[in-house]
Structure 1
Amino acid sequence: MSAGKLVFTLQKLYKDSWVAVLGDGIEKAIITASSIPSPPLEPLLWAVRLLLLGASDAKCSWWNEPGEYRWLFVRQREQVLIHIVWFRDIADWSDEKGKTVLRMECDLLSFAKRLFHQLGQLQYRDGDLTIPLDEHQKLQKAIQAFEYANRGMQASDAS
């Protein structure tokens, strides 16, 4: 699976409802979420930040009554495999029991920067503070740390 053109947008539909469009130029999915029982964007931010900081995998859930989307991330160096699965109901099912909605690979840094940008747009355009400002800043710092570490690795690979 090769990394294609990244498409990733976030939009607030109304007070407690979100939609993400995610794709790689070939495959695309529209993922919706409710803020009940908990807001979906912060767990997504945490998962991506963990990957930037070196975790090999991470996941988060988006609830959409009566079911759940589960975002599964596997980091492979500078790439990330994103696998989103759907469950008809919110239960403690294993990831393998979900129906695949999207499976794609993309550049981790590009995805993280796009998430950062989309969250900033929500705050600017909609005045939405679903993501606390300090969490948004922590994501930015993780992006910068990832860029710095990768520059160091590229320099040592070249020598």
Structure 2
Amino acid sequence: MHDEDNFDLLYVLLPHGWSTCILYLGDRIHELYISHVFGDPIGDFIEATTALLKGASAVEFIWWDEPGGNRWQITRNPEQHHKVTVTVTEFSSSCGELITQEKTLAEFEIKISHFSTIVYFQMKKTAALLGEKSFEKNRSGEFPYAAFRQLEFFFNA
């Protein structure tokens, strides 16, 4: 596991119920494909980040693809409470099936403030783009504004 100050991500809300998330971890790049058909991947991401900022010791969410997907498990470091271990796994199970044969895609430790800042500004970018009619046209209803306002509270306080 690496201590990643050299972490970033790009979250792209695509038209018609899809997203892509590109993870940058030092010299590694991982591209995750996300379907919105089976849940609210953006809402899950925002709510998990907000829960960490509120003091949660662990959060987990799944981003489904068709088939397969990625599980994010984020656990607070018990000795250094300002850090979390992020583990992203990939699996081939379809939605509704038992998730088996997970393979670790990435595992790293990062400050909660670093992680949450990256998530916040990617979501802020997406919310701003949805204000453009041409961008919003085929993405209507894909953004959880109420959950985003709760995350935004930590950055505007």
- Alignment TM-score, normalising by the size of structure 2: 0.81
Within 2, Cα distance between the matches of 1:14 and 1:89?
24
Aligned length: 143
Q: Aligned residue for 1:112? A: 116
Gaps of 5+ in 1: 146-159
Q: Aligned residue for 2:83? A: 79
Equivalent positions of 1:1-159 (< 5 A) are 1-76=2-77, 77-90=81-94, 91-93=97-99, 97-127=101-131, 128=136, 130-142=142-154
Cα 1:106–1:120 shift into 2, 3 Å = same
CA-atom RMSD, angstroms?
Answer: 2.0
Contact 1:23-1:104 within 8 A present in 2 as well: no
Structure with the larger helix share: 1
Which deviates further from its counterpart, 119-128 or 43-52?
119-128
Secondary structure in 2 aligned to 1:113? helix
Within 1, Cα distance between the matches of 2:34 and 2:85?
21
Gaps of 5+ in 2: none
Contact 1:27-1:104 within 8 A present in 2 as well: no
Contact 2:17-2:37 within 8 A present in 1 as well: yes
Within 1, Cα distance between the matches of 2:152 and 2:14?
25
Taking only the aligned residue pairs, the percentage that are identical comes to 21
- Alignment TM-score, normalising by the size of structure 1: 0.80
